[in-house]
């Protein structure tokens, strides 16, 4: 499976909560789950990177992601596997839902890494537009802790099973 590192940026705590739950379900030790605001580990030390961001405002990256995305672009990602998860508000920001996830995907899609956990169906989600939808499906796990928190754990469970089959 390779060594898994989870890297997340969280302003309200929702993305942190999701990162920890994903880590728990994948059996990732807590020392391999990293808040990018106080990052002490290098993404280069991991074979599999799970990257999580909330979308702020009109689909913008969470604040800490501006710097971390540059770090990732400067890291040799060839041969690594990357999975994305994002949190957004599909009601208030229906036309920019999960914009940050789409931005991360666009920035890293030509990095030489293999993306896993993609192809997540848009069925069951209510939104108008999303940069995180490519070829009719999400490029990672979409979560909406503001409006659909009751669906979070089930969505994580299904996505983790998908990841396990791709690792």
Q: 94 and 61 in contact (C-beta within 8 Å)?
A: no
4 membership: H or E segment, kind and range: strand 4-9
pLDDT, position 58: 85
pLDDT, position 56: 87
Mean pLDDT of the chain: 95
pLDDT, position 57: 82
Domain boundaries, the chain: 4-166
Over residues 125-148, mean pLDDT: 96
CA–CA distance, 103 with 61 (Å, rounded to integer): 7
Please, which residues have CB within 8 angstroms of residue 4's CB and are 6 or more apart in sequence? 26, 28, 32, 46, 47, 48, 49, 50
The predicted-structure confidence for 33-75, as pLDDT tens digits, reads as follows 999 999 889 999 999 999 999 998 889 999 999 999 999 999 9
Superfamily of domain 4-166: Flavodoxin domain (3.40.50.360)
Q: 10 and 39 in contact (C-beta within 8 Å)?
A: no
- pTM metric for this prediction: 0.96
């Amino acid at each position: 499976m390779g060594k898994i590192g989870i890297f997340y940026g969280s302003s309200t705590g929702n993305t942190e909560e999701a990162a920890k739950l994903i880590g728990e379900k994948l059996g990732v030790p807590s020392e391999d789950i990293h808040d990018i605001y106080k990052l002490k580990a290098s993404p280069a030390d991991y074979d599999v990177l799970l990257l999580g961001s909330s979308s702020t405002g009109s689909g913008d990256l969470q604040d800490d992601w501006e710097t971390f995305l540059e770090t990732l672009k400067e890291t040799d990602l060839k041969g690594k596997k990357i999975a994305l998860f994002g949190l957004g508000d599909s009601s208030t920001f229906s036309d920019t839902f999960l914009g940050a996830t789409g931005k991360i995907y666009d920035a890293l899609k030509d990095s030489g890494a293999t993306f896993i956990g993609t192809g997540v169906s848009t069925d069951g989600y209510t939104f108008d537009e999303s940069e995180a939808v490519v070829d009719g499906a999400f490029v990672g796990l979409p979560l909406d802790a503001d409006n659909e928190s009751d669906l979070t754990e089930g969505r994580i469970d299904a996505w983790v099973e998908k990841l396990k089959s791709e690792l």
